Amino acid sequence: MSPSGAELLRKIKSQIREVDPAVVHEQLGNGVVLVDVRENEEFSVGHIPGARHVPRAYLESRIEGVVPDRDAHIVLYCASGNRSAYAARTLSEDLGYRNVESMTGGITLWKDRGYEVVVPRTLTPEQRDRYSRHLLLPEVGMEGQLKLLDARVLLLGAGGLGAPTALYLAAAGVGTLGIVDNDTVDLSNLQRQVIHAQSRVGERKVDSAEATIADLNSDVRVVKYPVRIDASNIMEIIEGYDVIVDGLDNFPTRYLLNDASVRLRIPVVSASILGFDGQLSVFKPYEGPCYRCLYPVPPPAELAPSCGANGVLGVLPGTMGLLQATEVIKLIVGIGEPLIGRLLLYEALSATFTELKVRRDPECPICSRDPDSISDEEMGVFPDYEAFCAAAG
């Protein structure tokens, strides 16, 4: 006659080794590998600190990835000690693990004894759905998505470059987006600044961008700075951000941003556009060159068309802005090779990319020094450019 479930369990438990939670608690951190064999939903509401998670249904296929060593000291647990008993037999009998125990009473008894339980951060069911294409990428996954949700990214400008960058970063679930822009939406912006809308012409760009982002992804908090960034407010605004996206339209502020970001050691993803051409690089303080290493001095006004209004192909800031957004995500998640120490040139008409090396300047007036030695008075200092631009009309 076949045994009942209860009889089978008794038989299994007689064949494996069981261990009391008190003993496991003493052994934590002493080389013992604790494996939680419960289902995803059970694990996500609380587990023993440091426990690895291998649901029993995936035990045979996944345990080797988690514990490759057949001689490792493994303690399995579940809710009450029954599923872990079956799992212990599988590991010992079928997979050849030689030092396996099942914790008596499971996490229920562990909690009754007053031992610590951690509740892992996780995504809501809606977030799992929204970010499912990220979760399917091993390079991003749950961990990467949580990093994105925790990240704080500051966009300088909600214009040509900032508009597409902000849209995609919001869609990707970057949790906090700061937007600095003191301009209002103009009809001539809409040829390229896709975050704004015809119905919002005349409104502040920070409000218009916020409205689009709110409709796209409610996970994103928008922090609005409807100001012109200058030496008096830059440190206060950029402090605390993880990455800054430079889509500025003038040299004085680009130098100012460089100096402030080096001082605070915040990486800057920088792009610029003109006509059909774009440039892109990542300036990560002290790991690579800074903006001043690349461009020690700005060009004179006649060679710096950023001073006045110039033509730009509407798609071009989209291309460059999305390359910026890609670099931002790589920096946050910590994947790939960011564009540090490299300058990427894009020519839309010939459809060519050119990559140039950018070296740290050992005599750079800013990043060759200790960041704490850079004073307020030194930031953004160079020939008076605004006067230049005014003279050039």
- Is residue 174 within 8 Å of residue 219, measured between CB atoms? no
Among the listed ranges 9-17, 113-121, 156-164, 365-373, the one in contact with other proteins (CB under 8 A) is 156-164
Residue 239: CB minimum distance to other proteins, A: 22
Instruction: Give me the least distance between CB of 310 and other proteins, in Å please.
Output: 7
- Residue 2 DSSP one-character state: P
Residue 160 engages other proteins in binding (rule: CB under 8 A): yes
* Residue with token string 């490759």: 68
Q: Candidates 25-33, 144-152, 166-174, 244-252 — which segment interacts with other proteins by CB under 8 A?
A: 244-252
Contacts with other proteins in 317-376 (CB under 8 A)?
317, 343, 345, 347, 350, 354-359
Q: Which stretch binds other proteins (CB under 8 A): 4-12, 58-66, 234-242, 302-310?
A: 302-310
Q: What are the angstrom distances between the C-alpha of 148 and each of 87, 181, 287? A: 36, 23, 22
One-letter amino acid identity for 339? L
- Please report whether residue 90 would count as binding other proteins according to CB under 8 A: no
Q: How far is the CB of 251 from other proteins (least distance, A)?
A: 5
Binding residues for other proteins, how many (CB under 8 A)? 44
Determine which helix (DSSP H) or strand (DSSP E) holds 177, and give its type and residue range: strand 176-180
Binders in 199-238 for other proteins, by CB under 8 A: none
Residue 369: DSSP 8-state? S
Residue 359 Cβ vs other proteins, minimum distance, rounded to whole Å: 5
By CB under 8 A, residue 314 contacts other proteins = no
Pick one of 246, 281, 332, 366: the residue that binds other proteins (CB under 8 A): 246
Q: In the set 168, 225, 251, 283, which binds other proteins (CB under 8 A)?
A: 251
Kindly tell me the sign of the dihedral angle through the C-alpha atoms of 377, 378, 382, 386: negative
- Minimum CB separation of residue 161 from other proteins in Å reads 5
**Residue among 101, 210, 219, 249 that touches other proteins (CB under 8 A):** 249
**3-state secondary structure string, 184-205?**
ECCHHHCCCCCCCCHHHCCCEH
Using CA atoms, how far apart are residues 319 and 317, in angstroms rounded to an integer?
5
Contact 172, 188 (CB under 8 A): no
Are residues 269 and 246 in contact, defined by beta-carbon separation less than 8 angstroms?
yes
Which candidate, 83, 88, 86, 87, places its Cα nearest to that of 98?
Answer: 88
Report, in Å, the least distance between residue 276 CB and other proteins. Answer: 8
Interactions with other proteins, residue window 259-278 (CB under 8 A):
271-277
Q: Whose Cβ is closer to other proteins: residue 118's or residue 227's?
A: 227
Nearest residue (CB) to other proteins, 92 versus 272: 272
Distance CA 242, CA 248 (A): 18
- CB of 16 within 8 A of CB of 102? yes
Instruction: Give me 213's structure tokens.
Output: 């982002």
Q: For residue 111, with 0-12 CB atoms within 10 Å meaning exposed, 13-18 middle and 19 or more buried, which class applies?
A: middle
Q: Which stretch binds other proteins (CB under 8 A): 9-17, 90-98, 299-307, 330-338?
A: 299-307
Our CB check for other proteins shows the closer of 212 and 258 to be 258
Chain position carrying tokens 């390229």: 192
Residues lying near other proteins in the complex (CB under 8 A) are found at 157, 159-162, 246-251, 254, 271-277, 279, 294-300, 303-306, 310, 312, 317, 343, 345, 347, 350, 354-359
